[in-house]
């Protein structure tokens, strides 16, 4: 039997849009023959999905599901905003988030898990593509869990319960009063939706990002003595943290306090220490390069007048 390499799996996935696990199975079943594997996937009901897989899916929905001390946010993309209002697509996005709540936030693993009603999540997406007629993808999933406390959530631009354009979950670790924590969790989730922090604190920021900030400060202050530059860099990073790190940001519901100060103050109300241990924020389509279409050029081409 031919070796099934990662490169071959990737090539098949790029050609068909099928999930990694399905691609591995197709290649294994066809002794590594790429064309036969494509036909095998088509025979399994992925033909329409494969034809549409090359089209950019940058619309869709962000789904948020919270149950007890666990929460999930998932982005399921479609080609047009119109599909996001389709009840079948909404049910798909919600159900995928529900499965992720049980199975975790690894997308590739999630695609192979059982989907309510039968088959896998990947097959459910393929069926929706065939039925609705647009390319769709499960782009990303994030899951948070606390040992005790609450998962706060907020959906911005909601078109149905737990479905919208921006979805946020935040994790509050505490043994304090649940109702007070739940109220704070929602307020913090709204804060995250509005400010889009890059990390919890400066220590959590990607080291490459910090090095870039330091390099910019050094370039702006080139020629200054080393001890002066060190103080400028320290001050500059503090300013960066106040703008970009959740705990240091000014709280949107009370700009006179930082998020860290708000957390400290509420400990008296809930009767226990409160720790903000994590957050996840998905904004629909962020980072996806959308195809720019020149409508005038399309019309000219159809009419045979394109130059």
Tell me the average pLDDT across 107-133. 91
Instruction: Report, in angstroms and rounded to the nearest whole number, the Rg of the chain calculated over CA atoms.
Output: 24
**Is the pLDDT confidence value at 145 over 70?**
yes
Contact by Cβ (8 Å): 125, 115:
no
Q: Which of 209, 189, 210 is nearest to 259 (CA)?
A: 189
Alpha-carbon span 288 to 272, nearest angstrom:
42
Write out the H or E segment, with its range, that includes residue 220: helix 207-220
283, burial (CB in 10 Å: exposed 0-12, middle 13-18, buried 19+): middle
Q: Which residues contact 24 (CB under 8 A, 6 or more apart)?
A: 4, 9
DSSP assignment letter at 83: G
Place of tokens 């995250």: 192
178-195 and 259-270 are packed helices; what angle lies between their axes, rounded to 10 degrees? 170
Token pair for residue 232? 């400028």
**Is the pLDDT confidence value at 155 over 50?**
yes
Confidence of residue 226 (pLDDT cuts 50, 70, 90): confident
Q: Is the dihedral of CA 81, 87, 92, 94 positive or negative?
A: positive
Confidence of residue 2 (pLDDT cuts 50, 70, 90): low
pLDDT tens per residue, range 233-289: 999 999 999 999 999 999 999 999 999 999 999 999 999 999 999 999 999 988 776
What are the two backbone dihedrals, phi and then psi, of residue 272, each rounded to the nearest 5 degrees? -165, 160
Query: In DSSP terms, which residues pair with 153 in a beta bridge?
Result: 169
pLDDT tens per residue, range 4-16: 888 888 888 777 7
Tell me the average pLDDT across 140-165. 96
Torsion on CA atoms 286, 290, 296, 298, rounded to nearest 10 = -160
Q: Is the model more confident about 3 or about 52?
A: 3
pLDDT tens per residue, range 72-103: 999 999 988 888 899 999 999 999 999 999 98
Q: Residue 17: its pLDDT value, please?
A: 67
Place of tokens 């898990």: 113
Alpha-carbon span 57 to 81, nearest angstrom:
10
**Is the pLDDT confidence value at 303 over 70?**
no
Tell me the average pLDDT across 197-202. 95
Q: Which residues contact 54 (CB under 8 A, 6 or more apart)?
A: 17, 135
121-132 and 87-103 are packed helices; what angle lies between their axes, rounded to 10 degrees? 170
DSSP assignment letter at 122: H
| Average confidence score pLDDT of the chain | 87
DSSP-derived 3-state class of residue 43: helix
**Is the pLDDT confidence value at 304 over 70?**
no
Alpha-carbon span 206 to 178, nearest angstrom:
33
- In 197-252, beta strands by DSSP E: 250-251
């Amino acid at each position: 039997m031919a070796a099934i390499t990662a490169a071959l799996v990737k090539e098949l996935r790029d050609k068909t849009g099928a999930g990694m696990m399905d691609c591995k199975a197709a290649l294994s079943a066809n002794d590594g023959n790429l064309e036969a594997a494509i036909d095998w996937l088509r025979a399994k009901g992925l033909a329409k999905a494969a034809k549409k897989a090359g089209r950019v899916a940058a619309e869709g929905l962000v789904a948020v599901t919270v149950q007890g001390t666990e929460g999930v946010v998932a982005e399921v993309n479609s080609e047009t905003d119109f599909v996001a209002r389709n009840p079948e697509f909404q049910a798909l996005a919600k159900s995928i988030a529900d499965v992720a709540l049980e199975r975790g936030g690894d997308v590739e693993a999630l695609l192979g898990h059982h989907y309510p009603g039968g088959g896998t999540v990947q097959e459910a997406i393929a069926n929706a593509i065939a039925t609705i007629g647009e390319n769709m993808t499960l782009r990303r999933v994030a899951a948070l869990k606390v040992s005790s406390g609450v998962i706060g959530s907020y959906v911005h631009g909601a078109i149905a319960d737990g479905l919208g354009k921006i979805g946020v979950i935040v994790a509050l670790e505490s043994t304090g009063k649940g109702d007070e924590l739940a109220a704070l969790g929602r307020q913090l989730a709204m804060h995250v939706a509005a400010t889009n922090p890059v990390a919890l604190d400066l220590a959590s920021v990607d080291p490459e990002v910090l090095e870039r900030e330091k390099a910019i400060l050094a370039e702006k202050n080139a020629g200054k003595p080393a001890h002066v530059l060190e103080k400028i860099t320290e001050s500059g990073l503090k300013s960066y943290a106040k703008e970009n790190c959740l705990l240091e940001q000014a709280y949107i519901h009370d700009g006179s306090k930082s998020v860290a100060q708000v957390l400290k103050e509420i400990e008296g109300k809930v009767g226990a220490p409160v720790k903000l241990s994590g957050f996840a924020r998905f904004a629909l389509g962020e980072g996806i390069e959308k195809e720019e279409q020149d409508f005038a050029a399309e019309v000219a081409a159809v009419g045979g007048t394109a130059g």
